[in-house]
Structures are given as structure tokens and as C-alpha cells.
Structure 1
Amino acid sequence: RASTATRASSKAKELEKLQDQFLDIDVDDRDPCIRLPPCETRKGWALQCDGLAVGYGTRTVATCAIVDLDRGFRCAVLGDNGQGKTTVLRSLAGQLPPLGGVFRWAQGLRVGLYAQDVYTAFSPDMVAEDHLFRCAREAPGQNPPRQEIFDLAGALLFGPDDLKKKVGVLSGGERARLCLGGLLLGKYDVLLLDEPTNHLDVETVEALADALVGFPGTVLFTSHDRAFTTKVANRLIEVGDGAFSLFPGDYATYCAQLEAESDGQAPPPKAEKPKTQTIAKPAPDKSKQRALERLEKRVAELTAERKQLESELSTSYDARKGQRLAALLPELEQAEAAWMEAAG
């Protein structure tokens, strides 16, 4: 029979082991690190667009003459809201049929899309970790180690308990991050990312930027995050005034040009005119003005509804609200495009 001293020594060792485990957990609270699975790396062109026209239904939002993009570039798609950035990405992903012209991806390239509303397509009964493992399993080549999948999930703010939850109880933000994780595990050669930094904290945004910079494939993305775009983009596509084309400079040049154009829009000082001079002003087109006001009101209503839905979905998911958000996004983009066209 063990002596009291022996039992005490054994208990002390067990307690020491438990303390070491707790210390390991505390110390392991490091910055997130996202590792993208490798994809095929080859030189040559990735995307060719020739006279491509994109839009919804019969309404053309933007067209291009020729846009060619080589493999390995990380291309930011830039422009004001309503100009057609999301429409361009959805068209290149094959979700929207071209309204004119053609585009083609190089043979063998696998293209994956992350869209702002894609998380609404999840089955509510799906378990979160099952989605990640399925995406990794369906990707070509050897499956990544389980720990890499868990590491990616952790970088996207999913703890062990979160991964056991059904999608139906996840918030809209959690669903969006889960969808992004599945896309990153898919070993796609081309990543099309529409506002990928939404629903991510600052550290995870930085980790995603680092991962994309080290990604050997091709990336096209939209983002309102200037720091993220500055770090990731080494090529630019500008969308505006019904057209899209490659921008000849870098992102710093693009921002400087926008600021210069903004400064140039300031009204010039009014010159003094002779008192005898009379300038006739054209009569305002009241019908056009009323149409513009209606469009402006519609854009404001849809924008307010979108913000309300995103706020509600970020805390708790509701299928009906998710479906409404999915339908609202293209509706808002079309309304913004119509408003910009009428205002121009």
C-alpha cells in the first residue's frame, strides 16, 4: 500500500501536469495564421476578356474592350458603389451569363467564388466542421492534415465548440467566415473574393492578407479596406462609367488620382460679370429630376434595409432574412447603377 508521502508526491505531479496543460493553452493565444493549401503554379495567362459586357437581365452594367490577366497576379477590382464590381466577379465566376463578348479562363484552372450572400445557401442541419472537412476532402490532391484544418478554423475565430454547432444556430457573420474557410481549403487556382474582410477582426484580416500574398495562384477581389488592398493587390481593374479596364498604375497611384480628381471637382471661384450681362439658364427637366429623386430614395431604402438585415444576421441567423438579403444585394446594385446613370 502506497505511503502518504508517495500519494502526495503523485498528486503533486498530476497537478503539475494539469498546470502545464493550462499554461500551454494560455500561451497558445497567439495571432492567427492562415495557411492556404498549395495549388498548381504555371506561367502564362489566366484570364482573357474580349468585348465582355456584364449585367443583369437585359441591362448592361459595364463593358470592356480587352482585359488580359496573367497567372499569379492579385488583382483588386475597384470603383464606386453601384458601378458593377460585384457584377464583374459574379460574371467571371459563371454565375451571371455575359450580355456580350467573351471571357475565358486558362484550361485546367479551378475557380472559386466567395460572395457577400453565399452563406445563405448553407443547410441549417449541417455541422460547421463537416463543411470544412468536406471542402478539404473534395479538393484535388492529398488532403491536408486535420490540424491544418483546425488551425484555419481557429484563425477564422472558430473554437472547438463552435465547430460542433449546426449551421442553423450560427450568426450571419459566422456563416460568412465558415464559407470563406471552405473556399480557402478548396485548393482553387483562382480565388474570386467579394468583400472577404467583412465579419473578420483586425488580426484575421492581416492573416488573410499575408496568406493571399503568399498564394501562388490568381486572386481577384473587392474590398473597402485600404490597408488590406494596399498589401495584397499588385494589379488593378477599374470599374466606372459603364466600363472596366486594367489600371496602369499601382494602388497608391490610383488613390492619389482619386484624391486629385476629388480636389478638381471643387467649384471654381465665381468671376465677376458685367452688370449688363444676362445669362439664360436652361429650364430644369422636371420629369428627369423626379425620376432621379425616386431612384435616390430607392437606393436609400435598400441600403437601410441591407444594414438592418446585416446587423440582425450578425447576431442570430434567420433563414427568411438571409434569403431576403441574398435577393436584396443584386437589387441594390441595379438601383445604384440606374441612379448613377441618371445622375450622370
Structure 2
Amino acid sequence: MKVLAAMSGGVDSAVAAARAVDAGHEVVGVHLALSRMPGTLRTGSRGCCTIEDSRDAWRACEKLGIPYYTWDFSERFKDDVVDDFIAEYAAGRTPNPCMRCNERIKFAALLEKALALGFDAVCTGHYAKVVRNDAGDLELHRAADWAKDQSYVLGVLTAEQLEHSMFPLADTPSKDEVRAEAAERGLTVANKPDSHDICFIPDGDTRGWLEERIEMREGEILDTEGNTLGTHPGAHAFTVGQRKGLGIGRPAADGKPRFVLEVRPKDNTVVVGPKALLNVDRITGIRPSWAGLPLAEEATGEWFDCHVQVRAHGDPVPGRARVGTTEDEHGETIPAWHLELEEPLSGVAPGQTAVVYQGTRVLGQSTIDRAVNAQRLLSTADAHA
């Protein structure tokens, strides 16, 4: 096969490309330039698209003896990932830019261009597995090393995209083995630190970065009863589950810390309360998609058992799900997934992604629109009855 290897400049993508070469594929390496003004050097282990990373990708391709190219996707990245990130925060939601990057850049724009150029597949260093089931259909599954599993951020992939996706690290027992293999191959990235955090905010100061791009207006910090506890410089800079930076002058009656429970951008208020109120067990997800072919329950609307994961490295919790509808902010009916959890999750914010699993298989994902505690809803209803 003719394979395009997406080279981030890290050890995982380098070893993935090397394994594709060993498998006998015709491999070409490409590094995506996602910023018009990348930093010249990495800041610790933040970021994944600096000038240093592009050089590391080039060195790896040189060592592997494969062609190397840099493709400028900076405009598409700005429109589909960076601007989306800003718009989501402006709407009071907490987005996952890595999900958007995989959905709209690596497995949409990149794959689209690769297929147009005659490539059969895109190869990446993600820890996940594509499996063909007994019926001949492709499924996305967790990697062998659950500690490094990245199937969560790939939950946005469609059946067609899985047909052209290659993850050579799927069955690798550990990251240490990948580093050891890179060293044996003479790859200079063998001991390079993993990248983390948001690549387009290299200093990690998300709040400061947003304050330069979203108009911040002073507003009120409220408790769950609607009482004013203090003021904030701008609701958009807060996220559900946040504890630090609230700046409330007086302590809670019980002396325990308060957490952000809700961000209301329309009236520029932030609601805070005790940690216990962060627990949720009912989630409504919008913009749903299946990773591969859908279950039969999609057509019937019946409940199906599953596990739900809401963070890249979070623990999945058991529950059930069904396909249905909900109303958007304009009152229009839109597709939605309804999730009921057997164990509550804490600090779940609108805008996060809920990925649904059955065993190791990724069924699909949806963007969290609403997350509530069923018991708290009943208590509130009883209080107003």
C-alpha cells in the first residue's frame, strides 16, 4: 500500500512510520505546519508543532530513508480548531481541541488530500486499534496498553475514515518498548518528552490566552440559591469543576471550598457550590457520530449497555445509552445521545466529549450539551411542587 505517515516530530509517529516501512508499504512522511508563527524551540514538553518538531520529523524520515514533506495546514487549523476553541469558550462550553484536530485536520483535511494524491492510508502514532469483525466491518478498539490508550480522541472517526487509517502501535505493550525500539533504530527522538497541553497555547496559560481574544466583562459569582458572593473579570475564563481563581472574599458556611458548577455566558454569571454538586449521572450529547457502523439500536431508539468516558485519560464508567433527540438553543429538534451512568462523574462540563464504549470497542461520541444529577433534579422538582 501507499501510506502517508503523519510525522509530529515525536517518538510515537517515528516508530509508527518505521513499522509501516518494515511491513513493506511505500511510505511518505509529512509534517503538518499548523501555525504561521511557531516557536523556535519547545517549552518543556508543551506543544507538538514547533520548528524543532518539524526538524525532528525530517531527521526521522532521513533515518528511515523515506521522502519528507511539510504541508501548510495553518489556515485550516485556525478556522477549524483555534477559532472553534474560542467560539466554544465564548458560548460557555469547554471544548477538547485534540478531538477537533483529529476530526477536522488529521482525519479529514489530511486524509482527504492523501486520498486525492493516490495514497491508500494515513498512518499515525496513536495508540488505538482498527479491527475487522466477523461480518467484515471495521471497528475502532482500545490499544493493548490502556495506560497510553488514545482511542478516546479518535472517537470522532467515521467508518469511511477507519478504512484508510493505520495505527502500527496498536499492540505495543508499553511506551517504554516504543522508546527502546526507537533507540535501536537510531532515531534521535527516542528520549524526547511527550507533548501535552494545548499546542497553540504553549505556555499553558489558557485563561490569559482567552482574555486576549474574548471580550471579558465583570460579572457576578452566585451560589446555588442565587445569592451574590463576589465578582469575576469575565465568565468565559471559567470552566465547570474549577476551584482556584474564584476570588470570593468570604468562606462558605461549612468552611469547605467552592467549585464552579455552571457558567452562564448569556448573563455573564458564574455559579459555585460544594464539590458534591459536581457529580452528574445524566448526560445529553449533541453532534453524535458512530466510530464505524452503528448498532441496531440506532434505528429502534432502544437503550444499550455501554461504558462512558469523558476525558482522554479518565476512567470509563458503566451505564446505558440511547439515540434520540433534543432541542438546541433556538428550539430546533436535533439528534442527540442520552446517557445514564451507574456511577456519577465529577466536574463534567458542556463542550466536553463523551465517548461510548462496549468492552474495548469505541462505539462513537457526542459533544456534551447538558450534564445533571438525576437525584438533584428530583429534589429540586419536589421543592417546587
Q: TM-score, normalised by structure 2?
A: 0.27
Q: Which has the higher contact order (CA 8 A, sep 6+)?
A: 1
Q: TM-score, normalised by structure 1?
A: 0.29
Q: Greater Rg, structure 1 or structure 2?
A: 1
